[in-house]
Amino acid sequence: MTTSTGETPAIEFRDVTKRFGDNVVLDGLNFSVPQGQRITLIGPSGSGKTTILRLLMTLEELSGGLILIDGDPYTHEYKGEKWVKVPEKRRRVVRNRVGMVFQQFNLFPNMSVLENIIESPVHVLGKSKDEAVADAERLLDKVGMSEKRDFNTNELSGGQQQRVAIARALAMDPEILLLDEVTSALDPEIVADVLGVLKEIADTTDITMLLVTHEMQFAREVSDRVLMFDKGQIVEETDPETMFTNPSHPRTQEFLKAVLG
Amino acid sequence: MNDSIWRWDRAWEVLPHLLEGLQITVLATVVGMAIAAVLGFFIALAMRTPSRWLKAPLRLLVDFVRMTPIPVQLTFIWLAFPTIPTLAVGFSVLGVHYATYMSEVYRAGIEAVPKGQWEAATALNMAPGRTWRAVILPQAIRNTLPGLGNYAISMFKETPFLFVIGIVEMFTEAQSFGANTFSYIEPITMVGVLFLLISYPTSLLVRRMEIRLA
C-alpha cells in the first residue's frame, strides 16, 4: 500500500483491533502516516488515542490486525492464513526505529542524567561510550539541560525531567517519535518550555511524529494532520487549520467546544 | 547462704561465657542471612518464570518450610544428615527458613518498581537481561533493604533454637551456667540485655532506612 507521494508509509495500521477483556478499544482501525509527517490524535479520554501509541511501542499486544513500520511487519504477521506474533528478535530490529516520550517521564532514578541518555545507545545500538557521551552532550545542549549532565534525576523538576526524557528518546535516533501527553503532568508555567523544545525538534528534524496532546495551540503549530477519535474510530481527519476552525463532524465540534471553551 | 535474688558477682562471672556464645549467635545470624538473602533472591526469580513445572514444586517447598517450626526442621535435618557438621546444619536451616520469607521481600521489591520503568526500557529497546540488571534490580534491591534488616533481627532472636541440636550459642551458655550454679536469673537477664543491646539499635537503623526510602 502506498501513499499519495508514492513512498512506503512510515506507519500503517491495517484492521487493528484492541480489546481489554470485553472492552473493545479499537475496532478494525485503518490509517497510515507518511514518512516525516506530524500527526496529532485528539478525542475524549477512552477514545483509544493513547492505546495507538502504546501498540506502536509494543507496550500492549494487538488483538487483531497488523501494524507495519516502513512496510515491515512489526508486531504480527500472516503466515498463510494464520495470524501470528512476530518473534521478539525481529521486533527488536524494527523497534529500534520507534521512540517514545511518556507523560510521567519514566527516567531511570538509579542512573544520572547522562547515564539515562547513553544507556541504550551503548547497550542497544553498540556505540562506543565516547561517541554516546558526545551525542548525549549535544542533545542535552539542544534541550537546554547541559549543566545538569551529572545530576540525579530526582534532583530535577518535572519540566527538566521531561527534557531529559526527550533527549534520551532522541539519542536512539528514532525515525518515529511517539509523544504521549508529554506536558500533562507538568506545571502550567513549564509547559511552554517543553513545547518549545519539541517545536524546535519538529522544525529541525524529519522525524515522523505521533502526538497525543491536549495542547491544541501546539497541535495546530506542529501538525500536518489531525485525527479526531471517538470510540476507537477516526471520526474526522483533516489539516489542523480546518480541524480547529471549521470541523465538520458533530462529535468534533462538541469535543473542541468542550476543550477550547 | 546468700538469698538475694540478684547477685552481681554471678552476673560478672557469666558474662565472658555469654560473650563467647554471642559470637556463635552473631555468626549464625550473619551466615544465615547471607544464605537467606541469596537463596531468597533466586526463589523470587524462579517464581516469576512462566514454567509451572518449576513454580508448583517450589511453591510447595516454600509453604512447607514456612509452615513448620524451626526447632522441628533443625532436629529433622540434623538427624537425617548425620554427616553434615552441626554448625552447618544450624546455619543452613536458619538460612533456608528465612530465604522463604526473603523471597517475598524480593517479590514485593520487584513489584514496587513502577510499571513506567519497564515501559521506558521497552521504549529504549533494552534487552530483557539488561533491563533486569540495569533498571529493575538496582531499584528493587533498594526496596528490599528494610525487609532484609527486619528479618536479620528476627533471625538473630531465633538463634536460641540452635540449642535443640546442641549448638552452644548465648542462650545455651546461660542455661548451662544456670545448671552448674543454680543461678538462672543473672545469666538469663544478661542474655536478654545483650539481645536488646544489639537488636534495638539495629531496628532503629532499619527504621531510619525505611523512612529514607519512603
Selected for mutation to probe chain A from B119, B124, B130 (highest A CB count within 10 Å) is B124
Q: What is the pLDDT of residue A5?
A: 54
Q: What DSSP designation does A122 have?
A: H
Q: Which residues pair with A20 in a beta bridge?
A: A23
Let me know if residue B1 belongs to a domain: no
Let me know if residue B2 belongs to a domain: no
- Is residue B26 pLDDT above 70, yes or no? yes
Give the one of A59, A107, A111 whose C-beta lies nearest to B122's C-beta: A59
Task: Return the minimum-mean-pLDDT range out of B20-24, B51-55, B99-103, B192-196.
Answer: B51-55
Domain count for chain B: 1
State the cell numbers at A56: 506502536
Let me know if residue B65 belongs to a domain: yes
Query: Is A93:B127 a contact under the CB 8 Å cutoff?
Result: no
Q: What is the pLDDT of residue A63?
A: 95
Let me know if residue B21 belongs to a domain: yes
Closest alpha carbon to A108 in B117, B160, B105, B197: B117
CATH code for the domain in which residue B182 is found = 1.10.3720.10
A169 and B123 within 8 Å at the Cβ level: the answer is yes
Domain membership of residue B185 as a residue range = 8-213
**Rounded distance, CA A68 to CA A33, Å?**
10
A123 and B120 within 8 Å at the Cβ level: the answer is no
Name the residue in chain B with its Cα closest to that of A90.
B125
Q: Which residues pair with A230 in a beta bridge?
A: A233
Let me know if residue B22 belongs to a domain: yes
Q: What does pTM read for this prediction?
A: 0.87
Burial of B126 (C-beta count, 10 Å sphere; 0-12/13-18/19+): buried
Q: What is the pLDDT of residue A254?
A: 92
Q: What is the pLDDT of residue B32?
A: 97
Let me know if residue B3 belongs to a domain: no
**Rounded distance, CA B91 to CA B52, Å?**
30
B123 and A99 within 8 Å at the Cβ level: the answer is yes
Q: Count how many pairs of residues, chain A against chain B, have C-beta atoms within 8 Å.
A: 57
Q: How far is A58 from chain B (nearest CA, A)?
A: 8
Phi, psi (degrees; rounded to nearest 5) at A39: -120, 130
Neighbours of A94 (CB within 10 A): 19
Let me know if residue B159 belongs to a domain: yes
Name the residue in chain B with its Cα closest to that of A169.
B124
Residue found under cell 468542550: A258
Query: Is B78:B89 a contact under the CB 8 Å cutoff?
Result: yes
B124 and A172 within 8 Å at the Cβ level: the answer is yes
Closest alpha carbon to A78 in A87, A66, A61: A66
Strands A72-73 and A208-212: unpaired
Q: Does B126 touch chain A (CB under 8 A)?
A: yes
Query: Is B174:B18 a contact under the CB 8 Å cutoff?
Result: yes
| Span B61-69, average pLDDT | 94
Query: Is B172:B160 a contact under the CB 8 Å cutoff?
Result: yes
Residues 6+ apart with CB under 8 A from A95: A57, A58, A74, B122, B125
Q: What DSSP designation does A261 have?
A: -
A102 and B123 within 8 Å at the Cβ level: the answer is yes
Query: Is B169:B94 a contact under the CB 8 Å cutoff?
Result: no
Q: What is the mean pLDDT of chain A?
A: 93
3-class DSSP string for chain B: CCCCCCCHHHHHHHHHHHHHHHHHHHHHHHHHHHHHHHHHHHHHHHHCCCCHHHHHHHHHHHHHHHHCCHHHHHHHHHHHCCCCCHHHHHHHHHHHHHHHHHHHHHHHHHHCCCHHHHHHHHHCCCCHHHHHHHHHHHHHHHHHHHHHHHHHHHHHHHHHHHHHHCCCCHHHHHHHHHHHHCCCHHHHHHHHHHHHHHHHHHHHHHHHHHHHHC
Query: Is B91:B29 a contact under the CB 8 Å cutoff?
Result: no
Task: Return the minimum-mean-pLDDT range out of A4-8, B5-9, B178-182, B200-204.
Answer: A4-8
Which amino acid is residue A5, in one-letter code? T
**Rounded distance, CA A243 to CA A249, Å?**
10
Q: What is the pLDDT of residue A3?
A: 45
pLDDT, mean of each 10-residue run, chain A (261 residues): 67 95 92 96 90 97 96 94 94 97 97 98 97 98 96 95 97 97 92 94 95 92 94 92 92 90 72
Neighbours of B54 (CB within 10 A): 12
> What is the distance of C-alpha B59 from the center of its chain?
20
Strands A38-42 and A208-212: parallel
Q: What is the pLDDT of residue B209?
A: 85
- Is residue B148 pLDDT above 80, yes or no? yes
For residues B43, B48, B54 and B57, what is the CA-based torsion angle, rounded to 10 degrees? 60
Residues of B within 8 A of A168 (CB-CB) are: 124
Confidence of residue B1 (pLDDT cuts 50, 70, 90): very low
Q: Does B138 touch chain A (CB under 8 A)?
A: yes
